[in-house]
Amino acid sequence: MALKVVALAGGVGGARLSFGLSEMLPPEDLTVIVNTGDDFDHLGLRVCPDLDTVVYTLAGVANRRTGWGRERETWSFLETIGALGGPTWFRLGDRDVALHVHRTQRLRDGAPLSEVTRQVCHAMGIRCSVLPMTDDDVRTVVVTDRGEMPFQEYFVRRVCEPAVRGFRFDGIENSRPAPGVLDALLAADLVILCPSNPWVSIDPILAVPGVRSTAGSRTVVAVSPLVGGMAVKGPAAKMAAELSVQPTPQGIAAHYAGLLHGLVYDQADPDAGVALQEDGLRSLRTRTLMRSDRDRRRLAGEVVDFGTTVARVEAA
Amino acid sequence: MALKVVALAGGVGGARLSFGLSEMLPPEDLTVIVNTGDDFDHLGLRVCPDLDTVVYTLAGVANRRTGWGRERETWSFLETIGALGGPTWFRLGDRDVALHVHRTQRLRDGAPLSEVTRQVCHAMGIRCSVLPMTDDDVRTVVVTDRGEMPFQEYFVRRVCEPAVRGFRFDGIENSRPAPGVLDALLAADLVILCPSNPWVSIDPILAVPGVRSTAGSRTVVAVSPLVGGMAVKGPAAKMAAELSVQPTPQGIAAHYAGLLHGLVYDQADPDAGVALQEDGLRSLRTRTLMRSDRDRRRLAGEVVDFGTTVARVEAA
């Protein structure tokens, strides 16, 4: 039986699990819906960090060491921007900037982001569906103890230094899910919340009007982005502490309360099976770290098997 | 006595003579006014081929082999644009594209091209004045036996293949000289028409309202872009043939009739001194090829000496 899967993804963790899923599912059965709240305009170019990490990872050209950008990258562009007195805090490689220039031009010509993404995916040999959460402009604003700031300012320029108080997704109320998003969710046998940052990667997707309620009509499992209370990448653990959320499987489960049927969490975390079951959740404790392609495939397989079981129980 | 010089320049030939002039004149005494009729938007970026060739040459980073672009260039950007299905006929190097991105962003933010050029020159260590002929959009259209086409289409994409019937400079009637252009001309002791293409490099500059008449109030000498009836670079000789203009010093002099006081032409051309003198023109027959920096300096010195003599005769 064909199993239709929708993955909600942010950057690195979401991209890696999506890669694993793309290796095991027929392309027509996998849709990856990606956060665009981090998108921003830089040097007059539209940069979509999460979308690009997902696309580069699925295409097999992502830089494995940095978690952003491309492998075999060169840096003449950025070096020259610096020599011209321009900003260099956001690291744009020469190959990477080609995608931003290409996308910016197509957006200016009136193509929606979802259409540009589809064309880029096709050109890069990606066969599953990759959808931005919305074609409308939504911008994640981080509310911190030093004031509010756009996400990239917080994340890259200030290296997640300010303490987080909360988040705002500007433009979200009037945003519409990108074409295909609700259809994919409605047709999904399983919705996977990838091991991405719950607050700034998954929440913006769920906050697009119609997404959370539609996802909520399906079987939903999440993969915790924390490993032994630490984030594999990015500020999730630091944010949890600043927001007084326990950096545990229970903390993640509570964050997604009302939406979730099952949680996959790391073997480095203490067994939370009983506690989660008391909240009505199935769980799977396994190795969630994805260092190699084999890790990605293995975790994807375990998550899908787990999700299928959860779905069967839900249906019964 | 300080000698104030204004050079009107297109691409390679104009850039090289300007470099020679910049090596011998105090920066405050040299203004280079550059053709912008070839400017165009490519991949959503504003590309200014002549301005960039002049700037790169003056900054000492121009590619000497190609006549366009920069030395020590890398090509990851263009390679990726191609992989994304984008156009690669216009060769944008990684360092070169940084300038276009930088300029495009500043133009979109409302800065005029002359202001952006000044900032870029400053960042690249250029001390003389480099001015676009205008801050307004002027676009050279080539009228050919295969129809009308934008200059870059004719020049790069169709490699000057169609036969030329004439030219049009769209937008020229309502264009205004960039700030500083008329002031520099009015203050000039000598105006030099560089060895650039008369029809598509120098004529657009002269056609900006006010430029020809103001230049005409000063001593004007031209350096012929032809060497023994051939163009050193570009389609000048081919155009001359198609326009039934003799590819000789007399042909070039006739093209600038009414404006010119003297002509510098190459030693490979037959002596035209008497014929030119009959038309009231002084002339200098010398080696005009600029292979090395030394060539550039030598020719610049000879042109300035010649122009100074012409100016003295005019004043007498």
What is the reported pLDDT for A268?
Answer: 95
Reported as a single tens digit per residue, the pLDDT across B185-229 is: 999 999 999 999 999 999 999 999 999 999 999 999 999 999 998
Which chain B residues touch A79 with a CB distance below 8 Å?
A: 95, 98
Residue B1: pLDDT band by 50, 70, 90 thresholds?
Answer: low
Residue B90 shares a structural domain with residue B223:
yes
Reported as a single tens digit per residue, the pLDDT across B112-145 is: 999 999 999 999 999 999 999 999 999 999 999 9
Is B76 in the A-facing interface, judged by CB distances under 8 Å? Answer: yes
A129: β partners:
A31
Is residue A276, in this structure, part of any structural domain at all? yes
Is A124 in the B-facing interface, judged by CB distances under 8 Å? Answer: yes
What is the reported pLDDT for B313?
Answer: 86
Residue B159 shares a structural domain with residue B296:
no
Using N-to-C axis directions, what is the helix angle for A94-108 and A113-123, rounded to 10°?
Answer: 140
Q: Which letter does DSSP use for residue B42 in this model?
A: E
Identify the residue among B94, B102, B122 best suited for mutation to test binding to A, counting A beta carbons within 10 A and taking the highest.
B94
Per-residue pLDDT of chain A (316 residues), as tens digits, is 579 999 999 989 999 999 999 999 999 999 999 999 999 999 999 999 999 999 999 999 999 888 889 999 999 999 999 999 999 999 999 999 999 999 999 999 999 999 999 999 999 999 999 999 999 999 999 999 999 999 999 998 899 999 999 999 999 999 999 999 999 999 999 999 999 999 999 999 999 999 999 999 999 999 999 999 988 888 999 999 999 999 999 999 999 999 999 999 999 999 999 999 999 999 999 999 999 999 999 999 999 999 999 999 888 7
Residue B67: pLDDT band by 50, 70, 90 thresholds?
Answer: confident
Look at B98 and A105 and tell me if their CB atoms are within 8 Å. no
Residue B101 shares a structural domain with residue B152:
no
User: What is the percent of chain B where pLDDT is above 70?
Assistant: 100
Is B65 in the A-facing interface, judged by CB distances under 8 Å? Answer: no
Residue B75 shares a structural domain with residue B106:
yes
pTM metric for this prediction = 0.93
Nearest to B84 among A81, A98, A108 (CB): A98
Do the beta carbons of residue B36 and residue B133 sit within 8 Å? Answer: yes
Q: Which two tokens stand for residue B75?
A: 């090509």
Residue B208 shares a structural domain with residue B61:
yes
What is the reported pLDDT for B278?
Answer: 94
Interior/surface letters A172-203, b for 16+ CB within 10 angstroms, e for the rest: beebebbeebbebbeebbbbbbbbbbbbbbbb
Residue B240 shares a structural domain with residue B268:
yes
Q: Of B168, B186, B221, at which residue does a domain stop?
A: B168
Q: How far apart are CA A217 and CA A215, in angstroms?
A: 5
Is residue A160, in this structure, part of any structural domain at all? no
What is the reported pLDDT for A197?
Answer: 96
Is A225 in the B-facing interface, judged by CB distances under 8 Å? Answer: no
Which chain B residues touch A76 with a CB distance below 8 Å?
A: 73-74, 76, 93-95, 98
Residue B147 shares a structural domain with residue B234:
no
Give the count of domains, chain B: 2
Q: Which two tokens stand for residue A293?
A: 């392609």
Angle subtended at Cα B237 by Cα B9 and Cα B41, rounded to the nearest 5 degrees = 50
The three-state secondary structure class of A145 is coil
Residue B133 shares a structural domain with residue B150:
no
Residue A300, amino acid: A
What is the reported pLDDT for A313?
Answer: 86
Classify strands A129-132 and A45-47 as parallel, antiparallel or unpaired: unpaired
Which chain A residues touch B63 with a CB distance below 8 Å?
A: none
Which chain B residues touch A45 with a CB distance below 8 Å?
A: 101
What is the reported pLDDT for A1?
Answer: 57
Q: How far apart are CA B17 and CA B297, in angstroms?
A: 8
Give the DSSP H or E segment for B97: helix B94-108
Do the beta carbons of residue B110 and residue A90 sit within 8 Å? Answer: no
Which chain B residues touch A84 with a CB distance below 8 Å?
A: 98-99, 102, 120, 123-124
Reported as a single tens digit per residue, the pLDDT across B160-189 is: 999 999 999 999 999 999 999 999 999 999
How long, in residues, is chain A? 316
Is residue A288, in this structure, part of any structural domain at all? yes
Do the beta carbons of residue A5 and residue A31 sit within 8 Å? Answer: yes
B32: β partners:
B7, B130
Nearest to B98 among A80, A108, A123 (CB): A80
Q: Of B168, B187, B211, at which residue does a domain stop?
A: B168
Q: Which two tokens stand for residue B280?
A: 């009231």
Which chain B residues touch A44 with a CB distance below 8 Å?
A: 101, 104-105, 108
Residue B234 shares a structural domain with residue B195:
yes
* A&B contacts, CB < 8 Å: 92
Residue B9 shares a structural domain with residue B45:
yes
Question: Which domain covers residue B152, as residue numbers?
Answer: 141-168
**B72 pLDDT above the threshold of 90:** yes
The three-state secondary structure class of A53 is helix
Residue B36 shares a structural domain with residue B155:
no
Is residue A154, in this structure, part of any structural domain at all? no
The helix/strand count (H/E) of chain A reads as 13, 14
Domain CATH for A190: 3.40.50.10680
Reported as a single tens digit per residue, the pLDDT across A44-68 is: 999 999 999 999 999 999 998 888 8
Residue B31 shares a structural domain with residue B145:
no
Which chain A residues touch B86 with a CB distance below 8 Å?
A: 98, 102
Look at A102 and B43 and tell me if their CB atoms are within 8 Å. yes
Reported as a single tens digit per residue, the pLDDT across B286-312 is: 999 999 999 999 999 999 999 999 999
Reported as a single tens digit per residue, the pLDDT across B246-291 is: 999 999 999 999 999 999 999 999 999 999 999 999 999 999 999 9
Q: How far apart are CA A171 and CA A304, in angstroms?
A: 33
B227: β partners:
B230
What is the reported pLDDT for B163?
Answer: 96
Nearest to B84 among A43, A86, A99 (CB): A99
Is residue A80, in this structure, part of any structural domain at all? yes
Nearest-Cα distance to chain A for B265, in Å, is 37
Is A88 in the B-facing interface, judged by CB distances under 8 Å? Answer: no
